[in-house]
Structure 1
Amino acid sequence: MRVLHVIPSIIKVRGGTSQVVIDMVKALRKNNVDAEIATTNDNGDSLLDVPLNRRVEYEQVPVWFFSRYSSNLKDIREYSFSWQLTVWLWKNISQYDLLHVHSIFCYASTIAMAIARQKNIPYIVIPHGLLCEWSLQQKTQRKQIYLKLIEQANIENSDAIHFTSQKEQQEFEKLGLNVPSFVLPLGTSLPKLIPHAHSHLCEYLKVPVNEPVILFMSRLHPKKGLDYLIPALAKLIHHRFTFVIAGSGSQKYEAEIKSLVISNGIRDRTYFAGFLEGEIKNLFMQGSDLFVLTSHSENFAVVVLEALAVGIPVVVTPGIALADIVEQHQLGYVTPLDVDAIASTLEKYLCNPQQAQDMGNSGRQLVSDQYTWKQITLKMQQVYADLAKN
């Protein structure tokens, strides 16, 4: 079976979705699914230096890159308009048995669904949280117009909506759209554990080896709740800890976060790591004592799964879809998105870190049992096969 995954961008600084597509396609190909990616050469404010209009190997998966219109207006630029992609899809979409379309409210995904409808090619849509309540409440009027005039027809004519959690599916059902759907979580890999990772990280950070390291690792965006987490940490300065902020965002928002850290009096115990990947990302993840993500909304949050996969406990908020799993299996703490509540939860951890470490050990086992990409893509194959029969 030939499956084309369509997404507006696969650069990692756009968030976890981009890496998810690459990992998913890589795992599918290992399971003998002929999967490819079609995308643009988006690279944030610039463009990727990659060959265009032909299939290339990119991070060990086959990718077709097409030129993105690079407007000076940020909103238009991030819409990822691509005439080249449009023409190529119209000419070549019939060579594929199925489309797996990632994201909505963007040109690449919208045009792929529209052309698939015209050419009678079945397609699955994975909205990656963009149909969740919190997301739809951002730029509300624009999204409502887009949904009503364009995207609703694409969604309602899809063969299925792929949700990554029951929470995401339940929030979608409130929209009243009559579309078949299924829930299949995202996956991750079990990395090789780094011996004495905490000691190595403390050496890297130039802090004492017995100092707790609390890690936030995600895209820097108002959605992520740092404006709750940072004041909560400021209430705990009677404890020793180093707070690591790993991630990148707009220059304006990064400046806001740095100002927030200073105004809350924890600049001397906060380390800004920037965007991390590869071995250094593994060191920060494995060397930290506690992972914290206090988001308003996450349809899945692969980064939480990555933390559990290396055996560190997590603190999450109810808006994160994996919160139910964390609570059910006692893999960390679930706290309301409230400054005092977050501070109380972190206080509980700092007073009894050994109990939390036992939780982390359970997390690695759960990921191994249920959330590796091999297990997820085997189920995805069955979904593809069922759709092919219809």
Structure 2
Amino acid sequence: MKVLHIIPSVAKVRGGPSKAVIEMVKALRSQNVDAEIVTTNDNGKDLLDVPLDILTDRLEEYGNVPIRFFSRFSPNLNAVREFAYSGALTAWLWQHITDYDIIHVHAIFSYASTIAMAIARIKNVPYINRPLGQLCEWSLQQSKLRKQIYLNIIERSNLLHSQSLHFTAEQEREEFHQLGLNIPNFVLPHGVHIPEPIPDAQDKLRQILQIPHQIPIILFMSRIHPKKGLEYLIPALSKFQDSNFAFVIAGNGESDYMNQIQDLLEKHRISDRTHLVGFVNGETKNLYLQGADLFVLTSHSENFGIAVIESLAAGTPVLITNGVAISPMVKEQDLGYVAQLDSEAIASTIQEFFEHPQVAKQKGDRAQQYIAEHYSWAKIAHSLINIYAKYAKYTKL
């Protein structure tokens, strides 16, 4: 079976969805599925330094999976640049999309995804779409009029002709049902790699940050974006001026917004205990996840929350908000804390963590075992293969 994954960008600045598609393809290929990725060289305001128009599987940064990059139109106008138009990608899809048995499209409201679904419809190639939370209520409220027009004129027909929609959490599917679109769908989460334990991770992280051993570390690790709710988390943390803790922000964002966050840290008088460490990856990322005492993600909306799962896999309890789609699972399995997106509610939960650190550790220990049993990439890939077989042009694997 030949499977083509299409996504507007695999750049790190685009966050978890970009990483997920690479891991998904890698897991599928480990089970003898001929899976590839087509994308653009989008890198936010910049462009990736990658080979264009050819298939390569020798880029370690992108998992050494087969991937084709095509040039993205890059005007200074942000709205046009974000749309990620690519004429070269369009021409290639028109010529080659019928070479594949099924197309797995990631995202909507973006040129690469939209044109892929349109061409697949014309060429009668079956496709499924993973909307990346863009059909959730919070996302649809951003640039609301533009998205309503786009959805009604263009994307609705693309979605209605898809074989199925791929949601990564039940909460994401429930929000989609509010739109009243009768489209087959399934829920299949992302997988996660269980990291090798790092001996004395907490001591090593405190040495790097130069903080005393007994001070708890609260870790925020995500793309720095207004969606992530730092405007609620920072005021919540400011209520603990008399408590000893360190706050780590690991991630990158647009420079203007990063400046806003730094101003907010100053305003709430916690900049002196905050460590802005930028984007972390690989062994360094694992060290932060394993060395922290509490992982926090106070988002308005997350269709899954890859960093949350990674934290749980590392055995670190999480504090997330109801907008994170896996919050029902975290609450039901008692793997961490779930709070309303409100500074007072977040502060109250942090207080509970401070007062009962042993309970938090028990949640983390429970989380590590649960994630290993239910979220391995091998298990997710096996389920995805069965879904492909149901919809593909040829079902022989």
TM-score normalised by the chain length of structure 1: 0.99
Task: Kindly indicate whether residue 258 of structure 2 is the aligned counterpart of residue 254 of structure 1.
Answer: yes
Moved more, 168-177 or 44-53: 44-53
| Post-superposition CA distance 1:345-380 (Å, at most 9, x none) | 101101111110010011010111000111111100
Q: Could you say what secondary structure the match of 2:66 adopts?
A: strand
Question: Would you identify which runs of 4 or more consecutive aligned residues in structure 1 move more than 2 Å?
Answer: none
Match of 1:237 in 2: 241
Task: Kindly indicate whether residue 302 of structure 2 is the aligned counterpart of residue 298 of structure 1.
Answer: yes
Pairing of 1:1-390 with structure 2 (within 5 A): 1-57=1-57, 58=59, 59-388=63-392
In 1, the alpha carbon distance for the partners of 2:12 and 2:101 equals 28
> Mind listing any 5+ residue stretches in structure 2 that lack a counterpart?
none
In 1, the alpha carbon distance for the partners of 2:136 and 2:150 equals 15
In 2, the alpha carbon distance for the partners of 1:297 and 1:46 equals 26
In structure 2, what residue type is equivalent to 1:338? D
| Post-superposition CA distance 1:217-256 (Å, at most 9, x none) | 1111111111110000000122110000111111111001
Q: Could you say what secondary structure the match of 1:68 adopts?
A: coil
In structure 2, what residue type is equivalent to 1:252? D
In 2, the alpha carbon distance for the partners of 1:147 and 1:379 equals 29
In 1, the alpha carbon distance for the partners of 2:385 and 2:105 equals 16
Answer yes or no: is the 8 Å Cα contact 2:335–2:366 preserved in 1: yes
Moved more, 125-134 or 36-45: 36-45
In 2, the alpha carbon distance for the partners of 1:267 and 1:255 equals 12
Moved more, 217-226 or 117-126: 217-226
Q: Could you say what secondary structure the match of 2:39 adopts?
A: strand
In structure 2, what residue type is equivalent to 1:246? A
Answer yes or no: is the 8 Å Cα contact 2:229–2:298 preserved in 1: yes
| Post-superposition CA distance 1:31-78 (Å, at most 9, x none) | 111000000111222211211111011321000111111111111111
In 1, the alpha carbon distance for the partners of 2:80 and 2:348 equals 43
In structure 1, what residue type is equivalent to 2:3? V
| Post-superposition CA distance 1:119-168 (Å, at most 9, x none) | 00000000010000000000000000000111000000000000111111
In 1, the alpha carbon distance for the partners of 2:317 and 2:183 equals 37
Equivalenced residues, count: 390
Q: Give the alignment's Cα RMSD to 1 decimal.
A: 0.9
Answer yes or no: is the 8 Å Cα contact 2:7–2:39 preserved in 1: yes
In 2, the alpha carbon distance for the partners of 1:336 and 1:49 equals 41
In 1, the alpha carbon distance for the partners of 2:49 and 2:208 equals 32
Answer yes or no: is the 8 Å Cα contact 2:171–2:326 preserved in 1: no
In structure 2, what residue type is equivalent to 1:95? D
In structure 1, what residue type is equivalent to 2:42? D
Q: Percent identity over the alignment?
A: 54
Q: Could you say what secondary structure the match of 2:240 adopts?
A: coil
In structure 2, what residue type is equivalent to 1:77? R
In 1, the alpha carbon distance for the partners of 2:95 and 2:84 equals 20
Answer yes or no: is the 8 Å Cα contact 2:71–2:86 preserved in 1: yes
Q: Could you say what secondary structure the match of 1:121 adopts?
A: coil
In 1, the alpha carbon distance for the partners of 2:53 and 2:349 equals 51
In structure 1, what residue type is equivalent to 2:34? D
Answer yes or no: is the 8 Å Cα contact 2:120–2:127 preserved in 1: yes
In 2, the alpha carbon distance for the partners of 1:237 and 1:322 equals 31
Answer yes or no: is the 8 Å Cα contact 2:131–2:166 preserved in 1: yes
In 1, the alpha carbon distance for the partners of 2:29 and 2:221 equals 29
